[in-house]
Amino acid sequence: MAELNGKPVSVDQLKTLALTGYGHFTSMRVEEGRVRGLSLHLERLVRDCRALFDAELDPQHVQDLARRVAPSEGACVVRVTVFDPNFDMGHPGAKADPQVLVTTRPAANLPLSPMRVQTRKYVRDLPSVKSVGLFGQLLHRRAAQLDGFDDALFVDEQSLVSEGGTWNIGFFDGDRVIWPEADILVGVTMQLLKATHEHDERRVQLADIAGMQAVFATNSAIGVRAISGVDETTLTDDHPIIDTLRKAYMEVPADPL
């Protein structure tokens, strides 16, 4: 299912998005017509629209458009993409008229199996914005998978851990949940867990990971996913904290879409 402003989208309308890759999005897991952290998804869209287009986005209108394509039963992932079909690559400073593209895809059954990740030196452009420009993330994900891993974990030149390509990373040091203090996209699932479970935020170096009792990934589509290895370091993927966080996330009240 794909609609632009509530109507079936045409190939011509998607050309600019495909050829320039300028825009932003959010992805929401919809279960039985409800979304955890719906207000956070809408706030992200409004904030990022100002950042990329210097334009205001009506969150209620976006919610109405998303509701049109989301099934009332079962689970799916609804992605809301905001872009300007008339965006001119030669004149990106021109006044923008951002439009709302809503698409759906099947939702994976949760929980997902643990994954092994490979660290890659990479920092996204404008990390605070959930940009449609995924070239760098996918390039490193592909390289990690070609090396036998499931995904890539990003570190900077000083080996400071930040995030995955499409997910946040968290740690448990035996006492508290740790979220990395770095330039990252603060995910909705991460924010919901911060509100429901005690945590610290601090700089995490790559060398610190071996001393962690548990490591996990979070985003709206996967919930909480255990990480069983980082590079050549093997990690425990069944620590009780993983189930504790999953339970905390699942108990977050979901809002009607």
φ and ψ at 98, to 5 degrees? -65, 140
**Strand partners of residue 105:** 77
* pLDDT average, residue stretch 119-129: 97
Q: Judging by DSSP bridges, how do beta strands 168-172 and 2-4 pair with one another?
A: unpaired
* pLDDT average, residue stretch 190-208: 97
Locate 202 and state its tokens.
Answer: 């601090």
What pLDDT, in 10s, does the model give residues 104-118? 999 999 999 999 999
CB 188 within 8 A of CB 44: yes
The residue to which tokens 């090396």 are assigned: 147
* pLDDT computed for residue 39 by the predictor: 98
**Strand partners of residue 208:** none
| Predicted TM-score (pTM) of this structure | 0.96
Nearest of 170, 113, 168, 120 to residue 142 by alpha carbon: 120
* pLDDT average, residue stretch 57-74: 97
Q: How many CA atoms lie within 13 A of 13 on its CB side?
A: 15
* pLDDT computed for residue 13 by the predictor: 94
What pLDDT, in 10s, does the model give residues 220-257? 999 999 999 999 999 999 999 999 999 999 999 999 99
Q: What is the average pLDDT value for the chain, to the nearest integer?
A: 97
* pLDDT average, residue stretch 73-78: 97
The residue to which tokens 């719906």 are assigned: 38
Tell me, what amino acid is at 164?
G
User: Looking at the predicted structure, is the pLDDT value of residue 1 above 90?
Assistant: no
* pLDDT computed for residue 53 by the predictor: 98
* pLDDT computed for residue 61 by the predictor: 98
